[in-house]
Copies of this chain bind each other. A is one copy, B any other.
Amino acid sequence: MKAVTITDIAKALNLSTSTVSRALKSSYKISEETQQKVKEYAAKYNYRPNLLAQGLKSMGSRSIGVILCAIPNSFFAEVLNGIEFIAASNNYHIIITQSHESYEKELNNLEQLLWKSVDGLLVSLSCETCDVEHFRNAQSEGTPVVFFDRVTNLIDTHTVVADNAKGTYEGTVHLIKSGCKRIAHITSAPNVSISKERLAGYIQALKEFHLPVREEYIKYCNHGGMISDEVEKAVNELLVLDETPDAILTASDRITIECFAMLKKRNIKIPGDIALTGFSNFSAPQLFNPALTTLKQPAFEMGKVATGLLLQLIENKRLPKDFEKRVLPIELHIRESTVRSQM
């Protein structure tokens, strides 16, 4: 009942293990006849090469390490779906670790993954991460890294992101055209790439329509909405302003949900008092009350593209001269939460 090995085949056919090994991969100079015999026997007894042994020789594991902040997050869950899809069809498996927005955990996860000799890394940085030296080291010691979603420009490698600036630009323009004039923006930690890009799109739209950019309308949640107190604080600070906003644009799944819940808890009418839209990959924003206008990222696609690029790096060994920055489109889905018929 034990798994059949190359040695078993060799004994059974009265050959050496080297011949069997070479016959199986049709390499070197092995006679047609021997190849046939070996392959038949292997097929018959359902031979599967031992991956640990292969790994030990090649110092590879046919595995990809993934670092992201949390699995139970609509966006990342979809990304994982895409990653698994491409990885599985190329016979790699994925090892998923969660940073929970903590720099320290991210560091620890990286160490664990390298220890497990993953062949490559797919990373979305934690909110706390400023220093990316650890990833640079990983790369320079031979483990390629591809960043997605929350990326860094301090490391030369492939990156895959959504068109964040365009997303917030279009969201903001939509709000303006719906009649909103005092648009606030609640976003993630100021150091992560997505926050900067999303802020830029928001500002660009305001300027284009000659609306003032007010510091007090821009709020940061240093843990991306994972800590609801942070979102609550942001919302509170907006609501006590002399001129309260008439719209809020949120920059992540969790922030959107939390913000929505808080406005409802305070009995603020959406969109009557405050219009609301934001980034969200929830499966059913149309069922909300009111149905939520969302900026939806191509999460599944992002996972697929990032994994494809990583596999290229892994299998080419040598790092290419110029790296790619893939930018995927964001979809604006207009629903009730931003349609102000009463204006």
Chain A residues at the B interface, C-beta cutoff of 8 Å: 1, 48, 50-53, 55-56, 59, 61, 70-74, 77-78, 80-81, 84, 88, 93-98, 112, 115-117, 141, 257, 260-261, 264, 282-284, 286-291
Whether A72 contacts B61 by the Cβ 8 Å rule is: no
B contact residues around A289 at 8 Å (CB): 287-291
CB pair B84–A115 under 8 Å, yes or no, is no
Residues of B within 8 A of A93 (CB): 95, 112, 116
State A70–B283 Cα separation when bound (angstroms): 14
A117 to B3 Cα, complex, angstroms: 11
Q: Cβ of B84 and Cβ of A80 under 8 Å apart? A: no
A234 CA to B84 CA, complexed, in Å: 32
Residue of B nearest to A85 (CB): B98
Bound: A284/B283 CA distance, A: 11
What would 14 A/B residue contacts be, using CB atoms closer than 8 Å?
A48-B115, A51-B116, A52-B117, A70-B81, A71-B81, A80-B96, A84-B97, A93-B112, A93-B116, A94-B95, A95-B95, A96-B96, A257-B284, A282-B284
Contacts of A88 in B (CB 8 A): 97, 112
| B52 contacts A56, C-beta separation under 8 Å | yes
What is the bound-complex CA distance between A288 and B48, given in angstroms?
Answer: 50
A56 shortest CB reach to chain B, Å: 5
